[in-house]
Amino acid sequence: MTQPPSEQRPSAGQHLATVSHDGRFWEVYLEFEDTPRGADRYRALLAFSPVDRSEGEPTIRTIPLLIEDTYDEVVQRARRLEEHHFAAMLRSLLP
């Protein structure tokens, strides 16, 4: 059963944090790119979605920033990021 767009999760990725920026709270997710068969690296990006997002407001994504040899290494590296790192990345994405 398909949910209405306003009830769909903003990301299928792993939740990393919730950060505050400019009076709004943002959920931060780790999303992996599809790894082509035979690829020797895992690539992931960060996705930011406002908690109070309005209908049609998109999830904002970085380019792939985390590139490691294994899936677990990417997750560990992402978990080492701190709130100020996420806030800085979010600021760089916003108009």
Three-class DSSP category at 94: coil
Q: Which amino acid is at 6?
A: S
- Closest among 37, 36, 20 to 28, alpha carbons compared: 20
Q: How far apart are CA 75 and CA 54, in angstroms?
A: 29
Q: How far apart are CA 78 and CA 45, in angstroms?
A: 9
Q: What is the pLDDT along the chain (95 residues), one digit of tens a residue?
A: 344 444 456 788 999 999 999 999 999 999 999 876 667 899 999 999 999 988 888 999 999 999 999 999 999 999 999 999 999 999 999 98
Q: Assess contact for 20 and 48: CB atoms under 8 A.
A: no
